[in-house]
């Protein structure tokens, strides 16, 4: 006996998604068909995979397909598949709730000041809800392939906060989504319109998409296949146009934008496989936080049979923005995620994918600088993660990185390490850089003064990841990378002599400053870095930059307290004032301000901002 129907409320976030989708995507109404067909294709893929171990699942209906039909009298459009289907619990989980970790980001993006963008759909597992853009009621009939006919499920909602759930007899395996169209959506009751949308967005879905033939403007019971129904990546490249590649990318990546570039390769030999890999032109919103598993990274096929989305197994994390497919000939069809993690053949495929992606990015950098600039703006920081994660390709990745520079074009990150080396002065043996939490902080840092005075170029690294990344990039092309804020500044013999004389002359002042500052500093020294500013901090070669330490503390991490080295410019008027000040309290205020302004310039957090303000006021008032 079937369980009685019940009415449930959507989760609060689902209700928000429904409201935003139905009120914001009017300019891209046709997106619903692409999304429902993609979901149907996923269901067919899953059945085909599960049927490898359990052939009974597809018994009696082994030809997987997707049917799109319309009924002018009932004003309905139906998308039906004979794929895996869903149980009652799966319906509730997949439609009544949203499990995606990126949902809140989606809601923020859709409800922000910028106009909602249809490319957000699909990247958060919310594609099904686009049906409500054109329908005022949606009915779902579904039965899982291994469930009896009596355990079918009927889901129905008008998208206004509630849905009904009912157990029904369902003779057909798979899922049918029935859209009851709104009064002003007659265009989707025309066969030619539905067919043109399928051709535009779903032609390369690897399952037959069928539509009823038409007679006297009415659908008949006879179906015909209207898409190419072949895996694009299996065709020779000579038979695939750029338009075909872009169309497949948009279907694969759920993106309205064109791909920036792609690479399509077939490897033959002891291990044979095909790769089709795309670089998006804009970062997916779920790039940094994960998202719906079925829509992330690369899809793995074995002999055209979909196995899983295996981004972690097929590409390293720093290339997670890449979309595409890998189709292997030699992996066992019953492969599981656990086996994948320890499969040597897959490691070779992964290495090949990494090589192809880096080859593609290098080609952009060399031949299409405008496209490379677009890529780097979107994914440069993600690529930097590879410096720490991929030691085998560290040099290749480093070659692709771009930075702002004291000899560059303002804030633009256009200087490569090779550019820098090409401009190095005779005798210079290091690549100099500075890290900070903004371009302005980096460019204006007092630690740069001596380098600017000598005409030595310095790379200005102001992205949050830079200080962490540079810890794994100690050398490039035989040249050491050195921070202008760490260690000793290189001096010629004449400069060394001047430095020694200045230090000897300033010994009483250094001693006085150390006594005034006490435990707040580890050491006070005469600086070789400063020409105009009174003071700066100097770090040891292995000490973390203050701005990064501050960020980590704000994130809740315990950071060891370190006593900085204060470097001073004895010729500066403020330093001379400390030297001549007889009042100990005033001298202590001045000395402390020397330290605190150095800390602020370095991005450190003042231990007591209120005391700093009071001290500054006392000095200003004399």
CA-CA distance, 142 to 135, in Å (whole number)?
A: 19
DSSP 3-state of 387: helix
Q: Residue 74's CB: how many other CB atoms inside 10 A? A: 12
Q: Which helix (H) or strand (E) holds 362?
A: helix 344-367
Q: Is 86 annotated as a binding residue?
A: yes
The alpha carbon of residue 58 and the mean position of all alpha carbons in its chain are separated, in whole angstroms, by 38
Q: Is 94 annotated as a binding residue?
A: yes
Q: Which of 463, 455, 366, 454 has its CA nearest to residue 416? A: 366
CA-CA distance, 586 to 583, in Å (whole number)?
A: 5
Q: Is 175 annotated as a binding residue?
A: yes
Q: Is 127 annotated as a binding residue?
A: yes
CA-CA distance, 205 to 69, in Å (whole number)?
A: 17
Q: Is 306 annotated as a binding residue?
A: no
CA-CA distance, 460 to 604, in Å (whole number)?
A: 18
Q: Is 126 annotated as a binding residue?
A: yes
Q: Is 601 annotated as a binding residue?
A: no
Q: Is 370 annotated as a binding residue?
A: no
Q: What angle do CA 571, 503, 530 make, to 5 degrees?
A: 45
Q: Is 393 annotated as a binding residue?
A: no
Q: Is 123 annotated as a binding residue?
A: yes
Cα dist from 498 to 31, 259, 427, 493, 571, whole Å: 72, 58, 20, 9, 13
Q: Is 125 annotated as a binding residue?
A: yes
Beta carbons within 8 Å of 308's beta carbon, 6+ residues apart: 49, 299, 300, 337, 340
Q: What are phi and psi of 305, to 5 degrees?
A: -95, 120
CA-based Rg of the chain, rounded to a whole angstrom? Answer: 32
DSSP 3-state of 393: helix
Q: Provide the phi-psi class of 418: left if phi over 0, else alpha when psi is between -120 and 50, else beta.
A: alpha
**Per-residue DSSP letter, 486:** B
The residue whose two tokens read 């995979």 is 49
The DSSP bridge pattern shows strands 323-328 and 298-302 to be parallel
SS3 of 20-41: HHHHHCHHHCCHHHHHHHHHHH
Q: Is 81 annotated as a binding residue?
A: yes
Binding residues for ATP: 35, 39, 81, 86, 94, 101-102, 123-128, 175, 337
Binding-site positions read 35, 39, 81, 86, 94, 101-102, 123-128, 175, 337
């Amino acid at each position: 006996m079937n369980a009685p129907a019940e009415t449930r409320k959507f989760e609060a976030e689902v209700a928000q998604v429904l409201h935003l989708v139905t009120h914001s995507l009017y300019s891209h109404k046709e997106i619903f068909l692409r999304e429902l067909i993609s979901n149907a294709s996923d269901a067919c893929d899953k059945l085909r995979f599960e049927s490898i171990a359990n052939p009974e699942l597809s018994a009696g209906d082994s030809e997987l397909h997707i049917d799109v039909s319309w009924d002018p009298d009932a004003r309905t459009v139906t998308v039906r598949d004979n794929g895996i289907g869903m149980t009652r619990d799966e319906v509730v989980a997949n439609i009544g709730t949203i499990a995606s970790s990126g949902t809140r980001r989606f809601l923020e993006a859709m409800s922000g000041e910028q106009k909602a963008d249809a490319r957000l759909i699909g990247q958060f597992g919310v594609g099904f809800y686009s049906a409500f853009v054109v329908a005022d009621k949606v009915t779902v009939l579904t039965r899982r392939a291994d469930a009896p006919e009596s355990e079918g499920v009927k889901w129905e909602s008008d998208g206004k906060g509630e849905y009904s759930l009912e157990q029904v007899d369902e003779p057909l395996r798979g899922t049918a989504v029935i859209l009851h169209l709104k009064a002003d959506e007659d265009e989707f009751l025309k066969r030619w319109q539905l067919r043109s949308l399928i051709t535009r967005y779903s032609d390369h879905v690897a399952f037959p998409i069928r539509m009823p033939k038409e007679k006297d403007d009415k659908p008949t019971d006879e179906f015909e296949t209207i898409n190419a129904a072949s895996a694009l990546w299996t065709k020779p490249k000579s038979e695939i146009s750029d338009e075909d590649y872009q169309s497949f990318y948009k279907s694969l990546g759920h993106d309205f934008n064109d791909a920036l570039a792609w690479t399509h390769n077939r490897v033959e030999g002891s291990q044979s496989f095909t790769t089709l890999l795309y670089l998006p032109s804009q970062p997916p919103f779920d790039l940094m936080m994960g998202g719906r598993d079925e829509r992330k990274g690369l899809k793995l096929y074995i002999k055209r049979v979909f196995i899983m989305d295996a981004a972690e197994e097929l590409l390293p994390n720093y290339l997670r923005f890449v979309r595409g497919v890998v189709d292997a000939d030699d992996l066992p069809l019953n492969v599981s995620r656990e086996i994948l993690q320890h499969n040597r053949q897959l490691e070779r495929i992964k290495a090949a994918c990494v090589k192809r992606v880096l080859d593609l990015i290098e080609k952009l950098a060399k031949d299409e600088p405008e496209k490379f600039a677009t890529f780097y703006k979107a994914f440069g920081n993600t690529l930097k993660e590879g410096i720490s994660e991929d030691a085998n390709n560290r040099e290749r990745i480093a070659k692709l990185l771009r930075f702002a520079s004291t000899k560059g074009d303002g804030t633009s990150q256009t200087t490569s390490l090779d550019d820098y080396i090409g401009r190095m002065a005779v005798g210079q043996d290091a690549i100099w850089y500075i890290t900070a939490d903004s371009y302005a902080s980096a460019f204006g840092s007092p630690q740069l003064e001596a380098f600017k005075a000598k005409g030595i170029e310095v790379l200005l690294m102001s992205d949050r990841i830079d200080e962490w990344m540079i810890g794994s990039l100690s050398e490039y092309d035989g040249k050491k990378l050195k921070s202008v804020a760490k260690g000793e500044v290189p001096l010629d013999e004449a400069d060394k002599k001047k430095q020694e004389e200045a230090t000897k002359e300033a010994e009483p002042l250094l001693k006085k400053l150390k006594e005034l500052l006490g435990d707040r500093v580890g050491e006070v020294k005469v600086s070789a870095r400063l020409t105009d500013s009174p003071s700066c901090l100097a770090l040891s070669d292995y000490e973390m930059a203050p701005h990064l330490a501050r960020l980590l503390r704000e994130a809740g991490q315990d950071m060891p307290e370190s006593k900085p080295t204060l470097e001073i410019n004895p010729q500066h008027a403020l330093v001379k004032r400390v030297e001549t000040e007889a009042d100990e309290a005033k001298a202590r205020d001045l000395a402390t301000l020397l330290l605190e302004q150095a800390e602020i310039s370095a991005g450190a957090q003042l231990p007591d901002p209120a005391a700093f303000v009071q001290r500054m006021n006392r000095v200003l008032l004399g």
